[in-house]
Amino acid sequence: MAASLLRTKNDPSEMLPKTGENCLYLGASIGGTVSHIHDCICGSGNHHKGHILAVDISPRMMRDLVQLCDKRPGIVPLLADARSITELSPFINKKVDWFHQDLSVADQAKTFVKISEKFLKSGGVGLLSLKGASERVSEGDIKKRFENAEKILKDSRLRIIERIDLRGLEEHHILFNCRME
C-alpha cells in the first residue's frame, strides 16, 4: 500500500478511504496496514465512527490481529477464507466504500472482481495488490500474468483508474486502483 502511494501518478489521497467510511480489507495479516487505515477512517477511540472488516485465513495472524483490534475500536477481525462470499456475507450488512485485497493466492483478479461486485458500492474505491508469483505459472511469465489480471478487471464492472508498477519497492507486484461503476 505504501509503495503504491509513493508511485501513483495521481493524488495519493484519492486511494485512501475517507474519514468515517466503511471498509473491507482482505489479507489483513497481523494488521500493519489495517492500523494505518484505521487512523484515516476511525481516529483515536473511533471518534469518526469508521469501520474496517479485517479478514485473514491464518489463525496465527488472527491472534495478533485480535490484540490490535482490542486497542483500536472500529476494526472487526474475521477469521475466514477471503475468497468465500458465504463466509463474508454475514458480516457485511451494507456495501463498503473502500476495499483492499492483499491475498497470496491464485486467481487474485477473479477473486477481486467477485468480491467487489458483491460488496463494493457504486463509485467505491477498490485496490488490488496483485502478486505475480502467486498466480498460476501455467498462465505464462510475470508480464503475461499481469496482463491476464488486467483483462479480467477490464471485463468487469470495475474501471481501472491506474495500474501502478511497484518494481524496485515490491518485486513482481502491481497495484490496480479501481472504481466500481
Cβ atoms of 57 and 80 closer than 8 Å: yes
Cβ atoms of 17 and 5 closer than 8 Å: no
User: pLDDT tens digit string along 20-47?
Assistant: 999 999 999 999 999 999 999 998 889 9
pTM here? 0.93
Please report where in the chains the cell 458465504 appears, as a residue. 86
Q: How many domains does the chain have?
A: 1
Judged against a pLDDT cut of 90, whether residue 132 lies above it is answered with: no
User: pLDDT tens digit string along 41-98?
Assistant: 998 889 999 999 999 999 999 999 999 999 999 999 999 999 999 999 999 999 999 9
pLDDT at position 138 is: 60
Give the CATH number for residue 53.
Answer: 3.40.50.150
User: pLDDT tens digit string along 110-122?
Assistant: 999 999 999 999 9
Domain that holds residue 92: 2-180
Coil/strand/helix, residue 65: helix
